[in-house]
Structure 1
Amino acid sequence: MSSLNSIRMTFLEFFQKNGHQILASSSLVPQNDPTLMFTNAGMVQFKNIFTGQEHRAYQRVTTAQKCVRAGGKHNDLDNVGRTTRHHTFFEMLGNFSFGDYFKEMAIYLAWNLLTQEFNIDPNRIVVTVYDGDEDSFNLWRRISGLSEDRIIYISGNDNFWSMGDTGPCGPCSEIFFDRGDHIPGGLPGSCDEGERYIEIWNLVFMQFEQKSKDERVILPTPSIDTGMGLERIAAVLQGKSDNYDIDLFKTLIAASEQITGIKSDRDNMIHHRVIVDHLRSISFLISEGVLPTNEGRGYVLRRIMRRAMCHVRLLGFINPLLNDLFPILCTEMGRAYPELIQAKYLISDTITQENTRFHQTLDRGISLLDEESDHLGKKEVLDGSIAFKLYDTHGLPLDMMQDILWARGLGGVDIVRFNQCLEEQRLRARAHGLGLEERTTEKIWFSLKEKCGITQFLGYDMQHNAPMMIDEPKDPHHDQSVVSDGGRGFESRVQAIVQKDIIIDTAQSGQIIDIIFDRTPFYAESGGQIGDKGIASGDEVHLQITDVQKQAGGIFVHRATVQHGVLRTGMRMILTVNAQNRRQLSINHTATHLLHWALRTVLGSHVSQKGSHITPDRLRFDIVHSQLITNEEIRLIENKVNDIIAQNLSVRTRVMSINEAIASGASAFFGQKYGDQVRVVAIESKDGKVHSSELCGGTHISSTGEIILLHIISESSVSAGIRRIEAITGQRARSYLVEQDERLKSLALVLKVHQSEVLERVEELWKERRKLHLVDSKRKVTLNIDHLSAHKIADINFMSHVMSEVNPKDLKGFIDSIEKQIKSGIIMLVGISKEEKASVVIAVTRDLINRFNAVDLVCLSAKVLGGNGGGGRANLAQSGGPNGKNIAQAIESVMDFLKNKVEI
C-alpha cells in the first residue's frame, strides 16, 4: 500500500525527472491575493505570474501546497466529518508550466503518472473536456487510447476556469476514477452522477485572457495549472472509498480511540473525524503564526479549535485530546513539513490556553441554553436566532444544541432561521472581507508599473552599508556613489507624478506629490524598515523627500514636497539620500537581526518573527511566544546581543537563489514573499561560525561594533501568543541608561535609602498605602450602608452602590460586610476610576443562587458599560467596561432582568 507520504514524494519526483523544479509550499496566508482568507489551491502563489505582473527564472515547477478551506467564499467547515471527502486542511499536488509546454505535454505527463507510476488501471479512468475543445479530445484519444465514450464533452463553468471577470482563463480537463459498477452513479455530466466516478485531477489549459464580459483574446504564452487532492488520490491508491480510511487518518483516529477509550462506531464516528481533521488545520495555522482571536483569520482558527473541542466534549472526554494527538501528527507529517516540529511548543501552548478559555465559555453557553429552553413546551423548537447567538458567541455547535434539546424531549432548533442568521453573517463577512478590496490607488500603481516598468534600486551601494562579497552582482552605476549630506547623488528621470490618485504632468511649489523615478538610491519601506528621506534637485527645482513606499510589486513611490520651482514629467534630477538617517536605520536593522537570533537562542526555536518596525530612533520587534518574557530572560537576551556587538563581527551580504539560501541555513519567514534570487544577510565570526543568517532586502551596517549598544526598554503583550520587544541602540541607549541612573539616585535621596534598597522601600510604602486605603474604604462603606440604594423586587432585596476612585480588586472585599447585614438578597457594587472606567461586582446570597446567577447579572451590566462579558461564580462575579457614564443604565438593566425573572 502506498502511504500518503510516499504518494506525495512520488508525484514530486516524477515531475522533477520531467524537468520541473520542486518548490516548497507557500504560506497558508496568501501574500499576493488580498481577496483570499487562506491559500486554497496550488496556483495561488503563482497568480502574479499567470497575470503577467511577475516573471520568474523557471518555466516548469511542481508543488505540494498546504491549503485551508474554512473561511470566506471557500468554506468547508460545517461539512467536515459528515461527508467522506471534505476537509478543513488538505494538500494540493500540482504541476505548472509558464509559457513552456501546453496541452499535449500536460496530458502526456498526467497519463504516464497515473498509469505508469501509480499503476492505475487505464480502464478505470474517465476524462472530461470542455465542450468544443476538440484539441484536448483528440490529444486524449491519441495519448491514452481511451475510447470516445470515456472522453466526455462538458459545457458550462464546470470545465472552464477563470480568475474572475477579467484575466487569464481557459478550458479544463478533469480526470475521474471509476470505483466500479457496484457503486451507484452515472458518468460525469449525467443527471445521476452519484459516487461511482470520483474526480482525482484537474488540468487547466490557460490559453485566453478575458478582457471584458464580451471580449476574450488568445494569450501569447499559454500556461498549465493542475491540481490533485493528495487525500483523494491516496484513497484511490489505497483502495478506500472514504478519505478518512487512508493511512494518516486511520493512525490518528486509532490514537483518538485509544486515548479516549471510545470506539469510532456509528454514533461517535463524526466526532473522531472532526477532531483529527481539525487538528491538522489548527496545527498548521498556528505554526505560521495565526493565533486565535475574535476577528479575521484568528477568528476562523478559533472557530475550528472550538468546534474540535466541542466534539471532544461530545465524546464525553474532558482532557485536552488535541494536545495528546499532536505528537502523533508530528510523527506522520513532520518530515514533510518541519515547521510543525519547529513550532511544537507554540502549538501545544496555544491549544492548552484556548482549551481552558473555551471550556469556561462552553459552560456559560450551556447555562444560557438551559435558560432559553426552560420555557419551551414538549416538541417546541428553540428560536434559530437565539441558537445562532449561542453558536457564534459561545461556540456551541448546532449538533450539540440539538442533542441537548432532543434529550429533554424538545423539538431541537429552528434550522431555517438558524441558517438565515448564518448566511447573514457570511454576507457581512464577505462585505467586510479583510478590508483589503482593491482600491483606485492600487489600480494607478499597477497601470504605472505596466507603463514605466520596475524601479531600479541602487541604494545598496551607499556608504555605511554592508560590504558586498565577490559573488554579488555589482551595479553598473556603482561609480555614481552617493556621498553623505551635501554630496553628489544619483541622476534619475521623473517617470510619473501623482497627486491624490490622479496622474499629473507638473507640480508647483508647495504641492505634496508622489513621484516615480526610473532608478533610485532611496530604500522603500519593506521588511519593517521605514523608507529613506532626502532631497531631489534639478533645473531650478528642489524637492524634500519624506517617505518612499513600494507599490504594485516593484515601483518605488517617493512622497515629496516641492520646495521651489516647477516639477515636470521627464525631468532629470539628482537624488540624494539623508546618509545619517540611513545609517541609523541600517544600525537598527542589523540590531533587529541580532535580537531575533538572541530571542530564539534564549526562548527557543519556536520563536518566529510576527512583525517589526525599524526607525532611526528605535526598533520594535513582534514575536510568536505564548509566555511573558521575564526580566532575567530580557537581561540574558541583551547580554547575548551586546556580546556580539563587542566582538565587532562582520555583517556580510550575498545574492543567491532561494534554494541555495535555504540550503545554507538562512532563515526565511512565513508571510514573506521571495523571488528567485534573494539577498542573504549573515553575521559571522572570523572562524566562520554564523550567529545570524536571514533572507533580507533591508540595509545594514558592515560590522556589529557600529551598533555600540542595545538596550531593551519594554516587553509587552500585543495579543494572545504575540509578545512585543522595543529597544534602542547606540548613543541613544547610552543616554537612556544615564538618565535612568540619575533618576534612581534622586529617588534614593528622597527615600533616604541606598540605591540597592529603593525597590524594597517602594514596595513597603505601597503595601502601607493599600492597607490604609482599604481600611478607609471599608469604613466609608460601613458608615454609608444605610444610604445604599435599596429596592424590593417581589421577594428579592436588591441593593446597589457607586463608589469613586476605588481599586477594582477592593470591591470584592466590601461585599462580605454588606452581605452579612442584608442576610438575603442581591448586592451590586460599582467602582468608578479617575478615567471613568467602571468595575462591577455582584453578589447573590446562598439562598438565591438556585434562582439567579451572578455571572449572568454582571454580563448584563458589562454590555451597557461597553465591556465584554464577565467571570466568577454563581454567588459572586465581576465585570466592567470603559463607559462609566452609563452606570445608572447598567444598574437599571440588572433590575429590569430581575423584574422579568420574577414576573413583576
Structure 2
Amino acid sequence: MHRRVRSINTCMTASEIRQQFLDFFAAKGHIIVPSAPIVLKNDPTLKFTNAGMNQFKDYFLGNKKPDHARVADTQKCLRVSGKHNDLEEVGIDTYHHTMFEMLGNWSFGDYFKKEAIEWSWQLLTEVYKIPKDQLYVTVFEGDAKENLAKDEEAYNLWKQFVPESRILLGNKKDNFWEMGDTGPCGPCSEIHVDCRTPAERAGGDGAKLVNADHPQVIEIWNNVFMQYNRLKDKSLEPLPAKHVDTGMGLERLVRVLQGKQSNYDTDLFMGTIHETEKLTGKTYEGSDTRKDVAFRVIADHIRAICFTIADGQLPASNEAGYVIRRILRRAVRYYFSFLDIRKPLLHELVPVLAAQFAHVFPELQQQVDFVKKVVYEEENNFLRTLGQGLERIEAAVAELGAATVINGKIAFELSDTYGFPLDLTELIAQEKGLSVDKASFDIALKEQKDRSRAATALDTDDWTVLDENAAVKFVGYTQLIANTHLTKYRKIKSKGKEQYQLVLATTPFYAESGGQVGDTGVIEVGDEVIAITDTKKENNLIVHFADVLPAQPAAPVVARVDVVNRKSTARNHSATHLLHAALRQVLGAHVAQKGSLVNGDYLRFDFSHFAKVTDEELSQVENIVNDKIRENIPVVIEELPKEEALKMGAMALFGEKYGDVVRVVVMDPNYSVELCGGTHVAYTGELGQFKFTSESAVAAGVRRIEALTGTQAETWVNEQLTALKAVKVQLKNPKDLMKAVEQLVAEKAALEKQIEVFEQEKVKQISAQLLGQVSNIQGVQFIGAVLEVNNAEALKNIALALKPQFNSNYLFALVANVAGKAHVTLLIADNLVADRKWNATQIIKEHLAPLIQGGGGGKPNLASAGGQDVSKLDAVIAKVKELL
C-alpha cells in the first residue's frame, strides 16, 4: 500500500462531491429521492440493500409504475459477500467496504444508452475534471453461448469521447449485469480510473490492469442497460421497457477527486480514524501492518454497524442480525488483537459518525444515544466471550500433548461458538509454536453452509401471466370479500414442500407488513374452495400462498378473508398504538418502536429503553391504555402528504420507507398520531380490555412487552384467577395469602440449608470410606467406586474432598446412577497431567462417555460425563484400571 498523505489537497469535501452529483442530475430533469433504509423489508431475496437499484426493483419487474421517469439518489448499501466483498478482506485493501454510498441516476423507460454514456462522461471530465487520459471504459463483448451480440451501440457511442484503444471489451462476468438467477438484466458499460502516479502510468499500460484487481486501477462508474428478462430455464426475453441503472461508489469517487491512494485517506474516513488515534494512543500510518489494518477495519465497520442499527436491525444470533454482530465482532477482535485495547471502543465513535452524516442521513443523529448503547453492550458481551474463547484455546492446547497441530474442528467451534475467526486462532496458535489443520476447518465450515443452504433453499418457477395489464389493488381496509381474478401464479418449493403463490387483481387480503401478520382465508373458484394460508409482500406484489392451484386459474374468483382472525389482529394492532403513546407518557419521549408482532392471538412490542420497566410503571401504562379503551375514541384514518403528516406530529418509524403520500392513524390527536399501513378497529372500545403478560429484555437498550386484548385478555385473567384459587385451596385458604406464601418459601429455604449440611456430611463420610479403598496401579494411587449420591455435583465434591489427602500421583474415577442416568467424574493429579500428558477430558470423551452412551468434557485434570446406560458403571471403573 502506498504511503498515506495526511492532508487533503483539494477544496472539495465529500459532502460537496456528493451534492455536485445530485445537482448535476437534477439539472438533467431527475427527481432527487432519499435513500431507502439499509435494512430491507418485503423482499425475500435480500436481507440488506446491497445496490442502488433495490428500492426500484418493482419498476424493473413491472410490478409498479414509477412516479417519475428520471430519479437520482445516494443510497446506503451493505455488502459482506459476493464478488470482491468478502468481509475478511475489508480493511486490507484500499477500496472495498462493507457499508458504502452508491450514487445513482435512473431512467425508467425514458432515456437509454446515449444519454447515460454522455452524461457520465460529462460529469466525470467536465464537472469533476478527472483527466481523460486516466479513464478507460468497458463494453460487453457478447456471448456466443447465449446468442448475445457485442454491444455495438454502446461501443459506437463511446467512440465519440474515448480513443478506441481505451474502449475495452469485457466478458459476461464483468460486463453483463443480472439482478439474480432470474429477473431483469442487460449489458453494462463500466468506467475505470487509473490512479497510479504519472511515472507508473508511463511505465505500464493501464488497459491491462482494468478488472485485474489492481488497487490503483479501479472501477468508478457502472452504466447498466436493462433490456432483458432472465427466465428460470436461463433463456432471455426482451423487457417491454428499457431502463438505465447506474452506480458510482462515493468512497472511490472522493478518493480520486481528493488525490488519495486509498479510500481511507479521504475525509469520509479520516475523522473516525483520527478519533480512534485519540482513544487508543496509537498512530495510523496508512501501511499494511496489522495495526493500520485495524484502524481501517474500525473506520469501515463502525459505519455498517451504526446505520443498520439506526435503520432497525439489531445485532442478533441469527439471520440479518448475525451479519451485524459478525461485523461488530470483527472490529472488536481487530482492536483487541492489534491495538491492545481491552475495553469497549466502538461506541465512542458513534457520535463522531452521527455528526458527520447528520445532513444526509439524519436518522443516526436522531438515535445517537440508543445506537451508542447497543454498540457498547455488544462490544462488552463479546469481550467477555473473547476471554472464554481464549480459555477454550488454552484447553485445546493442553489436550494436544506432544502434537503441534490444532484440529480444525476445534478452530471451527471457536469460530461458531465464540466468534473467533480462523485467522485469530491461527495467530494465537502461531505464538505458541503450533498450527491449525485448515483442511478439517474447511470441511466443518462447508458442512455448516450446506446445512444452512438446505434449510433455506427455495426453488421458484417463472410466473405464469394471465393478465399483463392488471395492477394489484388492495381493498382490505374497507372490505373483506372481493370479486376478482388471478393475474399470475407460480409454483415454489421450500424444504421439500410445494406451494403456489397467487396474485389477484383485487384483493382484500392484508399482506404481512409493519409487524402485522398476513391474512388467511379462502378463495372460491367456481365450486372449488382453496385455503389461503398466508399473505406476504414481495416488493410491490401481494402474494397469496395456497397448497393447491385452482383447476381453472383463469376463472372468476371470490376472495374471502378470515373475519374472526382479522378482527382480532386489528384489535391487537390498534392496541400497539395506544401502548406506544402510553409508554412515551410514562417512561419518556426517548421511547421509540423497535419492532412488533401483531396477530390474532397476542401482540408483541419492542421499544427503546435502557432499564427494566418496573411493576409500578407497567401498571401505569396498562391503566392509561385501558382508560383510552373505555373512552371509546374513534380511530380516524386518512391519507396525507408526508410532510403535512409529520408537521401535525405523526410518529414515523426509523427504518421504514414512506412514499410521498402516507396513511395517518389518529386515536385522539393529543394522544396517538402515527404513520401506519396496518388494519385497525373503528373505535378503541372494540379492544375490550388490555392486559400485559410479560416484560423482558431483547437486546441492549431494547425492551419487549407482550400483551393481550379482547377475549384473549379475559381468558388469561380468568386463568390467573383460577390458578390463584387453586393455590389458596392448597394452602388451606389462609386469610393472608402473601404471608402464607412467604412462610412457605422461608420453610423451604431452611429445609434446603439442612439438606446442604446433610449432603456435606455425607461427602465427608463417603470420602473417609474411600480412603480405605486406595489401590496402587503402576505407581498411581487409584480410587474407583460406584457411589450412591443424589446428584452429579456430589461426585465432583467427593473427588475434590479426597484431593487434599494426596500430594501427587493419584487418579479418582467415581460413578453413580442418578435418577436413572449414568454419571462419571474423573480427577487426575496435576503432576500426571504435566509430566505424563494425561488428560481427563480426552479420557472421558474417547473411552468413558461412549461406554455409557453419552458425552462429556471439562479440563485436563477434572472432567465429567453423563449418559443413558447405567448398566455400564462397573465397566467404566474397569476401563480406567485397564488404561492405568
Q: Place the TM-score, normalised by the shorter chain, in its bin.
A: 0.7 to 0.9
Pick the aligned partner of 1:461 from 467, 478, 487: 478
- Asked if residue 220 in structure 1 is aligned to residue 232 in structure 2, the reply is no
1:328 maps to a residue whose letter is V
* Aligned-pair CA distance for 1:50: 1.7
For residue 207 of structure 2, what is the aligned residue in structure 1? 188
Bigger mean CA offset, 814-823 vs 729-738: 814-823
Bigger mean CA offset, 836-845 vs 320-329: 836-845
Distance in 2, matches of 1:430 and 1:65, equals 32
Pick the aligned partner of 2:483 from 492, 502, 506: 492
For residue 764 of structure 1, what is the aligned residue in structure 2? 746
- Asked if residue 322 in structure 1 is aligned to residue 346 in structure 2, the reply is yes
1:760 maps to a residue whose letter is E
* Aligned-pair CA distance for 1:635: 2.7
Distance in 1, matches of 2:123 and 2:326, equals 38
- Asked if residue 549 in structure 1 is aligned to residue 569 in structure 2, the reply is no
For residue 885 of structure 1, what is the aligned residue in structure 2? 868
Question: Identity percentage over the alignment?
Answer: 35
Distance in 1, matches of 2:453 and 2:112, equals 35
- Asked if residue 586 in structure 1 is aligned to residue 570 in structure 2, the reply is yes
Pick the aligned partner of 2:676 from 687, 695, 701: 695
Q: TM-score by structure 2 length?
A: 0.79
* Aligned-pair CA distance for 1:730: 3.3
* Aligned-pair CA distance for 1:253: 1.9
1:496 and 1:214, CA in 2 relative to 1: closer, same or farther beyond 3 A? closer
Indicate if the aligned counterparts of 1:536 and 1:545 stay in contact, CA closer than 8 A.
yes
Give SS of 2:206's match.
Answer: coil
* Aligned-pair CA distance for 1:241: 0.9
* Aligned-pair CA distance for 1:678: 4.5
Indicate if the aligned counterparts of 2:568 and 2:599 stay in contact, CA closer than 8 A.
no
* Aligned-pair CA distance for 1:397: 4.4
Pick the aligned partner of 1:652 from 625, 636, 646: 636
Distance in 2, matches of 1:755 and 1:538, equals 60
- Asked if residue 100 in structure 1 is aligned to residue 110 in structure 2, the reply is yes
Indicate if the aligned counterparts of 1:621 and 1:725 stay in contact, CA closer than 8 A.
yes
For residue 281 of structure 1, what is the aligned residue in structure 2? 304
Give SS of 2:198's match.
Answer: coil
For residue 609 of structure 1, what is the aligned residue in structure 2? 594
Give SS of 1:207's match.
Answer: strand
Indicate if the aligned counterparts of 2:39 and 2:312 stay in contact, CA closer than 8 A.
no
Written as runs of structure 1 = structure 2, the 5 A alignment for 1:532-543 is none
- Asked if residue 56 in structure 1 is aligned to residue 76 in structure 2, the reply is no
2:330 maps to a residue whose letter is R
For residue 155 of structure 2, what is the aligned residue in structure 1? 137
Indicate if the aligned counterparts of 2:785 and 2:877 stay in contact, CA closer than 8 A.
no
Pick the aligned partner of 2:254 from 234, 243, 248: 234
For residue 147 of structure 2, what is the aligned residue in structure 1? none
For residue 350 of structure 1, what is the aligned residue in structure 2? 377
1:573 and 1:239, CA in 2 relative to 1: closer, same or farther beyond 3 A? closer
Distance in 1, matches of 2:878 and 2:298, equals 43
2:206 maps to a residue whose letter is L
- Asked if residue 375 in structure 1 is aligned to residue 402 in structure 2, the reply is yes
Distance in 2, matches of 1:101 and 1:245, equals 36
For residue 7 of structure 2, what is the aligned residue in structure 1? none
Deviations 1:276-297 (CA, angstroms, capped at 9, x unpaired): 2222223333344544455433
Indicate if the aligned counterparts of 1:457 and 1:520 stay in contact, CA closer than 8 A.
yes
* Aligned-pair CA distance for 1:269: 1.3
Distance in 2, matches of 1:338 and 1:263, equals 30
Indicate if the aligned counterparts of 2:786 and 2:874 stay in contact, CA closer than 8 A.
no
Distance in 1, matches of 2:561 and 2:233, equals 47
Give SS of 2:574's match.
Answer: helix
Distance in 1, matches of 2:57 and 2:824, equals 53
Uncovered stretches (5+) of structure 1, i.e. residues with no partner: 463-481, 483-489, 503-511
CA RMSD, Structure 1 to Structure 2 (Å):
5.0
Give SS of 1:233's match.
Answer: helix
For residue 638 of structure 1, what is the aligned residue in structure 2? 622
For residue 252 of structure 1, what is the aligned residue in structure 2? 272
Distance in 1, matches of 2:872 and 2:77, equals 48
1:307 and 1:538, CA in 2 relative to 1: closer, same or farther beyond 3 A? closer
Give SS of 1:264's match.
Answer: coil
Distance in 2, matches of 1:781 and 1:691, equals 64
For residue 471 of structure 1, what is the aligned residue in structure 2? none
For residue 145 of structure 2, what is the aligned residue in structure 1? none
Give SS of 2:222's match.
Answer: strand
For residue 144 of structure 2, what is the aligned residue in structure 1? none
For residue 331 of structure 1, what is the aligned residue in structure 2? 355
Written as runs of structure 1 = structure 2, the 5 A alignment for 1:495-894 is 495=486, 519-530=506-517, 547=533, 549-550=535-536, 554-555=541-542, 557=544, 579=563, 581-599=565-583, 602=587, 605=590, 607-615=592-600, 617-622=601-606, 629-656=613-640, 666-667=650-651, 669=653, 678-683=662-667, 685=668, 688-689=669-670, 691-696=672-677, 698-716=678-696, 724-734=704-714, 736-737=716-717, 740-741=720-721, 743-744=723-724, 747=727, 750=731, 752-755=734-737, 757=739, 760-782=742-764, 784-785=766-767, 786=769, 795=780, 806=791, 817=801, 885=868
Indicate if the aligned counterparts of 2:523 and 2:532 stay in contact, CA closer than 8 A.
no
Indicate if the aligned counterparts of 2:474 and 2:507 stay in contact, CA closer than 8 A.
yes
Indicate if the aligned counterparts of 1:840 and 1:858 stay in contact, CA closer than 8 A.
no
1:7 and 1:641, CA in 2 relative to 1: closer, same or farther beyond 3 A? farther
* Aligned-pair CA distance for 1:735: 5.4
Distance in 1, matches of 2:442 and 2:307, equals 26
Indicate if the aligned counterparts of 1:716 and 1:723 stay in contact, CA closer than 8 A.
yes
Uncovered stretches (5+) of structure 2, i.e. residues with no partner: 1-10, 142-149, 494-498
Distance in 1, matches of 2:671 and 2:792, equals 52
* Aligned-pair CA distance for 1:844: 7.6
For residue 6 of structure 2, what is the aligned residue in structure 1? none
Distance in 1, matches of 2:449 and 2:874, equals 34
For residue 173 of structure 1, what is the aligned residue in structure 2? 189
Q: TM-score by structure 1 length?
A: 0.77
Distance in 2, matches of 1:243 and 1:330, equals 19
* Aligned-pair CA distance for 1:526: 4.6
* Aligned-pair CA distance for 1:554: 3.4
Give SS of 1:318's match.
Answer: coil
Give SS of 1:248's match.
Answer: coil
1:270 maps to a residue whose letter is V
* Aligned-pair CA distance for 1:158: 1.9
Pick the aligned partner of 2:387 from 357, 360, 381: 360
Pick the aligned partner of 2:121 from 108, 111, 114: 111
Indicate if the aligned counterparts of 1:181 and 1:196 stay in contact, CA closer than 8 A.
no
* Aligned-pair CA distance for 1:612: 0.5
Distance in 1, matches of 2:268 and 2:708, equals 49
For residue 271 of structure 1, what is the aligned residue in structure 2? 294
Distance in 1, matches of 2:422 and 2:561, equals 60
Deviations 1:36-87 (CA, angstroms, capped at 9, x unpaired): 4543221223233223234332322223222222246764222122211122
* Aligned-pair CA distance for 1:543: 5.2
1:221 maps to a residue whose letter is A
Bigger mean CA offset, 273-282 vs 96-105: 273-282
Q: What is the aligned residue count? A: 839
Indicate if the aligned counterparts of 1:34 and 1:437 stay in contact, CA closer than 8 A.
no
Distance in 1, matches of 2:869 and 2:515, equals 41
1:860 and 1:234, CA in 2 relative to 1: closer, same or farther beyond 3 A? farther
1:233 maps to a residue whose letter is L
Distance in 2, matches of 1:84 and 1:892, equals 62
Give SS of 1:223's match.
Answer: strand
Distance in 2, matches of 1:859 and 1:645, equals 62
Distance in 2, matches of 1:276 and 1:115, equals 30
For residue 429 of structure 1, what is the aligned residue in structure 2? 449
1:359 and 1:389, CA in 2 relative to 1: closer, same or farther beyond 3 A? closer
Give SS of 1:240's match.
Answer: coil
Deviations 1:238-280 (CA, angstroms, capped at 9, x unpaired): 1101111112322222222222222234542122222222222
* Aligned-pair CA distance for 1:614: 1.4
Distance in 2, matches of 1:895 and 1:656, equals 82
Indicate if the aligned counterparts of 2:782 and 2:811 stay in contact, CA closer than 8 A.
yes
* Aligned-pair CA distance for 1:235: 0.8
Pick the aligned partner of 1:90 from 94, 100, 116: 100
* Aligned-pair CA distance for 1:383: 6.3
